[in-house]
Chains A and B, each alone.
Chain A
């Protein structure tokens, strides 16, 4: 199959399937379409691997000029957003969408003469990586959404199923995502960029509760702000350079005087899309939606557009003031979001802040802009996508079982849902421990950031805070006296849909296998993506990544870690035969492990909650200051280049 056909399928199939899903209201058929679409997307994304890098300029679709189609679709999209602005009486959305319409009319009808770009589509290994992430992780999330939404609607006692709407948007989102990362013409990029905004609005609003609508509207206006910044930026760029070919724009570099300002605006739009401070509230609000939506927004789509775009633009801002500020801003985001996560006992909120934090680190990598940093950023996008999707889906599965997303309510979950609890713990471990990919990327990021004093101080502090909130959660899940004695029996008792098990285990095993495969991912995926702009920083020998100042023996470490794991498992099996006692309570034990016999023979319940350190890390305490600092940094970034 040719690259053209594959790219067409990757972008257009989701649109076609989405429409089919919307029209065919049969649940079995809908599930089948979702499964087939996901399967085809996964296959096509894998088949695309040997073709990268390539450029592609389709000029017509079914005989209609492609540029015209996107133009019409773009205005239709902006009008839909404007409609939602009126419907929800939100002045900001109205103003921003009108502004975007005017800007685009000005650009398309008064400025543009002749072709806008040489290549409409460009796919190097960075795009390819994003296509793989969106298609594989995104599809898996859609698969898990099938059993999830069934239970979700059952729980809500809906008279009329809204699943056709839900899956319409979910599948459409994957197409928009593939579109945005494969686009090279910036008007095309802009169209898909706005489409992801609209899709996330629709998904957050899906449950149609008051809070869902409110949060969706907030997401829409914040992302419209990014959209408006993008629209203005491309007008400037066209004015300066006379074309909107992204690759050429990046290659031109910051030579023209006015040129840096629009790039700063583009980075700004990337920040809004990736929910960086002070725009974090839209992503935090997004958790009111069904959990597969959160999983999709946080891991493989939406927020990843922003960081992808920042890495894409990085070569253009090398050795530039803008690059410096992006590094500091990203590191600040990493630290601040981690601090806010410590104060949360709401599991989904912890995940949300952790996403913002990791995205901040990726931005910091883009800003530090050395070959090591860019490598770290790319690996982090990939690993974060897989592990975060896993953790969100775990929380979704847990929430449907215990009707709570609070970490305190998940205490001792291992007793009721042993396998899900273990998979969640595994997810946490893959977030914070070597030899797994997320930590490897962090290691790389820290070594790359060491020469930037502002960035390294904040990343050093943020990294320690990150460990705290993850370890606490994993420990709580396993906090269960007497647990595990007959854990094989318990495993058999835990019931989940087969598709859920498939997706959870698939993501978990996938992240593990990818971690071992980092040297090869680096050689075959990352090195070609670095292209001419960066010198490949690492050499790979016997599975060891080595740079001039650091080394990470990936494969040897994995082997030793696996060995340590097996010994520990052997110890676990042996301990199952050991005598089990109640936890020490400093009193006479009773049959209940949490109760001891106190004064006057009265039973006394002994319990402890996790430390959430609200007085230091509480949202009320930090948010205002964090937003203020982020505002100052953003002003510095956009204003500083003028």
Chain B
């Protein structure tokens, strides 16, 4: 396929798929809670409205950070569509995550500050897990390049089941779902207001939201690699995984960062080790 088409697909996939997933998420969550929920396109309406608002900043570098966050997240998805190096894509999306934190840190509001630090702890929790997942994929397919990984004849899920669970932890944190929605989430926090996003507003908040959609798409793509041999398998895997995320979000309560760090590292490390040793032994 032509590279330009892939780039365009990557740039479009973020807002379209990310926004739709977000809309579907809100409807399903509402139904689970016996509410009707917003229309499917509500996330788009929200973002459009935010984009039309007056630009208000606490620190002008927030604008810089919001744009840099979006740029890095778009870049990560585009690189994924270009079937580039998985580890490099991971580092690229990490750039976005850090600029988001950076923007919050430029404000002196304790809500932003504490939100930013909690976000750093979330990054600290999930980053090693994503590295282990990528290493696991490499050990199985002998390549970090998505182009080679897609050529692998059998679904990775069969050889990397525990690492898929590990990826699930990272996904839950990245999607800002309970019990890991410490830094900010879609609802207001009683103790942190909007946490990390407190001092982002108007168009900058809209950019942050769009960038988040790109992050969601990146993570879903990463999940999709686990059953890349058939479209049906891929779709089933993604839908089941996302539904599971929604269930987890609804049945758990937000917990502390101490618990998150301890639990995610312990479980993530243990599961990764089991799966990695398995792969080493199979070699």
A607 part of interface (Cβ distance < 8 Å): yes
Residues of A within 8 A of B142 (CB): 549
Which of A460, A563, A583 is close to B58, meaning CB atoms less than 8 Å apart? Answer: A583
- With A467-B127, A608-B114 as given contacts, are A412 and B108 in contact (CB-CB < 8 Å)? yes
- With A434-B91, A434-B92 as given contacts, are A472 and B117 in contact (CB-CB < 8 Å)? yes
Cβ contact within 8 Å between A578 and B84: no
Residues of A within 8 A of B123 (CB): 464, 467-468
Most buried by A among B59, B112, B135, B193: B59
A344 part of interface (Cβ distance < 8 Å): no
- With A450-B135, A467-B98 as given contacts, are A481 and B64 in contact (CB-CB < 8 Å)? no
B91's closest neighbor in chain A, by CB? Answer: A434
Cβ contact within 8 Å between B277 and A549: no
Cβ contact within 8 Å between B199 and A583: yes
Q: Determine how close the nearest CB of chain B comes to the CB of A551; give it in whole angstroms.
A: 5
Residues of A within 8 A of B117 (CB): 472, 610-611
Q: Determine how close the nearest CB of chain B comes to the CB of A607; give it in whole angstroms.
A: 6
Cα-based distance from A468 to B84 in the complex (angstroms): 26
Cα-based distance from A426 to B261 in the complex (angstroms): 29
The interface size bin for chain A is 35 or more
User: Which of A5-13, A196-204, A568-576, A633-641 faces chain B?
Assistant: A568-576
Cα-based distance from A456 to B57 in the complex (angstroms): 42
> Residue-by-residue, is B77-94 near A (CB-CB < 8 Å gives 1, otherwise 0)?
000000011011001101
A593 part of interface (Cβ distance < 8 Å): yes
Residues of A within 8 A of B65 (CB): 568
Residues of A within 8 A of B135 (CB): 446, 450, 456, 460
How many residues on chain B are close to A (CB under 8 Å)? 69
Which of B75, B124, B144 is close to A465, meaning CB atoms less than 8 Å apart? Answer: B124
A277 part of interface (Cβ distance < 8 Å): no
B156 part of interface (Cβ distance < 8 Å): no
> Residue-by-residue, is A614-639 near B (CB-CB < 8 Å gives 1, otherwise 0)?
00100000000000000000000000
A475 part of interface (Cβ distance < 8 Å): yes
Cβ contact within 8 Å between A564 and B68: yes
User: Which of A144-152, A221-229, A482-490, A507-515 faces chain B?
Assistant: A482-490
Cβ contact within 8 Å between B144 and A608: no
B128 part of interface (Cβ distance < 8 Å): yes
- With A434-B91, A606-B110 as given contacts, are A579 and B59 in contact (CB-CB < 8 Å)? no
Cβ contact within 8 Å between B88 and A552: yes
- With A571-B63, A574-B63 as given contacts, are A583 and B116 in contact (CB-CB < 8 Å)? no
Q: Determine how close the nearest CB of chain B comes to the CB of A447; give it in whole angstroms.
A: 6
Cα-based distance from A581 to B112 in the complex (angstroms): 14
B178 part of interface (Cβ distance < 8 Å): no
A471 part of interface (Cβ distance < 8 Å): yes
In the complex, chain A residues 70-112 whose Cβ is within 8 Å of any chain B Cβ: none
Cβ contact within 8 Å between B60 and A575: yes
B138 part of interface (Cβ distance < 8 Å): yes
Cβ contact within 8 Å between B60 and A583: no
B72 part of interface (Cβ distance < 8 Å): yes
Cβ contact within 8 Å between A475 and B124: no
Cβ contact within 8 Å between A443 and B91: yes
B159 part of interface (Cβ distance < 8 Å): no
Which of A464, A549, A608 is close to B124, meaning CB atoms less than 8 Å apart? Answer: A464
- With A572-B61, A578-B55, A610-B117 as given contacts, are A584 and B198 in contact (CB-CB < 8 Å)? yes
B11 part of interface (Cβ distance < 8 Å): no
A314 part of interface (Cβ distance < 8 Å): no
Residues of B within 8 A of A607 (CB): 108, 110
Cβ contact within 8 Å between A479 and B85: no
Q: Determine how close the nearest CB of chain A comes to the CB of B140; give it in whole angstroms.
A: 11
- With A443-B88, A478-B59 as given contacts, are A593 and B105 in contact (CB-CB < 8 Å)? no
Cα-based distance from A479 to B68 in the complex (angstroms): 17
Cα-based distance from A616 to B260 in the complex (angstroms): 14
Cβ contact within 8 Å between A550 and B66: no
A594 part of interface (Cβ distance < 8 Å): yes
B102 part of interface (Cβ distance < 8 Å): yes
A572's closest neighbor in chain B, by CB? Answer: B64
A567 part of interface (Cβ distance < 8 Å): yes
Q: Determine how close the nearest CB of chain A comes to the CB of B122; give it in whole angstroms.
A: 10
Q: List 6 A-B contacts (CB under 8 A).
A: A549-B142, A575-B55, A579-B54, A580-B57, A608-B113, A611-B121
Q: Please report A residues at the B interface, Cβ cutoff 8 Å.
A: 412, 432-434, 439, 443, 446-447, 450-451, 453, 456-457, 460-461, 463-465, 467-468, 471-472, 474-476, 478-485, 487, 548-553, 557, 560-561, 563-565, 567-569, 571-572, 574-576, 578-586, 593-594, 606-608, 610-611, 616
3 nearest A-B pairs in the assembled complex, by CB-CB distance: A475-B105, A564-B71, A583-B109
Given contact pairs A463-B127, A548-B143, A564-B72, enumerate 20 new A-B contacts (beta carbons under 8 Å): A412-B108, A439-B91, A443-B91, A450-B138, A456-B276, A467-B120, A468-B124, A472-B117, A474-B102, A474-B105, A475-B106, A485-B60, A549-B144, A564-B67, A571-B67, A572-B64, A583-B107, A585-B109, A608-B108, A611-B120
Q: Please report B residues at the A interface, Cβ cutoff 8 Å.
A: 54-68, 71-72, 75, 84-85, 87-88, 91-92, 94-95, 98, 101-102, 104-114, 116-117, 120-121, 123-124, 127-128, 131-132, 135, 138-139, 142-145, 148, 193, 198-199, 261, 265, 269, 272-273, 276-277, 280
